[in-house]
Amino acid sequence: MIRAIISSLGLFIKQEFPIKVLQSSTQPLSKSQSMFSRILRNLTELAEWADEIERLLRIQRTRL
């Protein structure tokens, strides 16, 4: 499902609309949070970001 949502963003990138992505993360047992942003300007960057999200989801599933 997440892959479908991310791939639909490709339509905007194909029309040359860059997408700004904000991500946040926390470490286990920590109250601090880190945030970063990136701008996706082409389909290669979008695919790399989708792969990264899927990798993080796999890691999260193994911790549950």
- Tell me the whole-structure pTM to 2 decimals: 0.76
Other residues' Cβ atoms within 10 Å of the Cβ of residue 3: 11
Structural domain that includes position 24: 2-63
Return d(Cα 2, Cα 60) in angstroms, integer.
Answer: 14
Tell me how many domains the chain contains: 1
Tell me if residue 1 falls in helix, strand or coil.
Answer: coil
According to the model, what pLDDT value does residue 41 have? 96
According to the model, what pLDDT value does residue 21 have? 92
12 closest CA partner among 38, 39, 35, 36: 39
Q: Report, as ranges of residue numbers, the positions in the chain whose pLDDT lies below 70.
A: 63-64
CA dihedral 50, 31, 28, 54 (to 10 degrees): -10
According to the model, what pLDDT value does residue 63 have? 64
According to the model, what pLDDT value does residue 59 have? 82
Other residues' Cβ atoms within 10 Å of the Cβ of residue 46: 20
